[in-house]
Structure 1
Amino acid sequence: MVQVNETTAELLQLLNIQDGVTPNVLQILNESDARYIRDLKVNVGNVLVTTHLTEKESALLALSISANQKNNILIAGFQKLATEKEASVEEQNEAISCASLLAGNNVFYRFRHFQQKESYNTMQAKIKMNIMMKPVLGKEFFELMSLAISAVNGCEMCVNAHEQSVRELGATEERVWDAIRLAAVITSLDKIIS
């Protein structure tokens, strides 16, 4: 068993990562430089509890970003947190499904954007997206998750479309900002916890 310093232990606890599990890269940082781990712990705490997202929404959004990154350790931790924050299995499954749907959409629409050819813009996508029509989590939050995932995946066309949609559905810029901050922090976690 790897001995971890107090800051690393607090980060692992915040992420609901089981005792005795210390991912390899985090072990390296634990042994050499706790400053970054301390910053990351503060950042995680700051994005999981915000003014413009409920704790349940933060947990589901973190779960969705973790699924997008294919990070099983973070997925398990955020599933546990989402359950603690009273997210149903159906809601958790939809957060994971959103990541999968957007992974495909981001590739497709990024291609259209890069090519900027009228012919591609007029062709039908023929990609089923029923989950977007009547999401369990509500249209506004599903759009917010879609926006955050699109930002992580770097699809400018999707980011612009989802930001406009979520704003039309009543989200404030502060709510959008908190979701993007959360996506950024979870993405940084993915680099050291896998």
Structure 2
Amino acid sequence: MSISALKAALPPYARDLELNLDSVLTGDLLTEQQLWGTVLACAMTTRSALVLRAVAAEADDHLKPEVAETAKAVASRMAIHNVYFRAKHLIGDEAYQHLPARLRRQVTSTPGVPMVDSELWSVAVSAITGCGVCLESHERSLHGAGVSREVVDEVLRAAAVVHALAVTLDTEAALG
């Protein structure tokens, strides 16, 4: 299934979602690699098999295999970090902030994937999972690297739209 097929499967009440998906996929603030890495990492984060299959198939046309693997590695790593750091924050006991995470991180960079791209993907994934600690940390890294708020906002928009796509299509499938 393609992204076009996903759009065609959207119910009439989701017209705004279709328009926003078109807008995200044709935006000009992100490079092609940043956009499709964001969309792929977000699709993985939604856990929607339908959306992930369609996005992964289309991302193959826009990303080198090693870049796609890095976007998936970011989503996988953030699945760990978002739960861990959000939980430590939500507990509200400052003592937890001083305990070492002791979480392994072997995939730190990939040739051809700038740190900025993986940080953008981390922000998008963290937006979907709702980890404020990770959002703040990765946004600070991006700001320090000279990335504009408009670019960060664009990946937040992409994350919101991909998440909504998964929620809507999975809901329709469940009700169908």
Structure-1 separation of matches of 2:50 and 2:71:
16
Contact 1:144–1:166 (CA under 8 A) maintained in structure 2: yes
* TM-score relative to the length of structure 1: 0.79
User: What letter is aligned with 1:174?
Assistant: E
Q: Show structure 2 runs of 5+ residues with no match.
A: 171-176
- 1:77 deviates by 1.6
Contact 1:60–1:78 (CA under 8 A) maintained in structure 2: no
Q: Show structure 1 runs of 5+ residues with no match.
A: 1-11
Q: Within the alignment, does 1:52 sit opposite 2:29 as a pair?
A: yes
Q: Within the alignment, does 1:116 sit opposite 2:125 as a pair?
A: no
Contact 2:38–2:121 (CA under 8 A) maintained in structure 1: yes
Contact 2:34–2:120 (CA under 8 A) maintained in structure 1: no
- 1:92 deviates by 0.9
- 1:57 deviates by 2.2
* TM-score relative to the length of structure 2: 0.86
Q: Deviations over 1:14-36 (max 9, x none)?
A: x1548xx95xxx4xx3xxxx2x3
Structure-1 separation of matches of 2:67 and 2:33:
10
Provide the residue aligned with 1:134 in structure 2.
Answer: 109
Q: Which has the larger radius of gyration?
A: 1
SS, match of residue 152 in structure 1: helix
- The alignment of Structure 1 onto Structure 2 pairs a total of residues equal to 168
C-alpha RMSD of the superposition = 2.0
- 1:99 deviates by 1.1
SS, match of residue 145 in structure 1: helix
Q: Within the alignment, does 1:84 sit opposite 2:53 as a pair?
A: no
Q: Deviations over 1:63-106 (max 9, x none)?
A: 11110111222222222222222x11121111112111111101
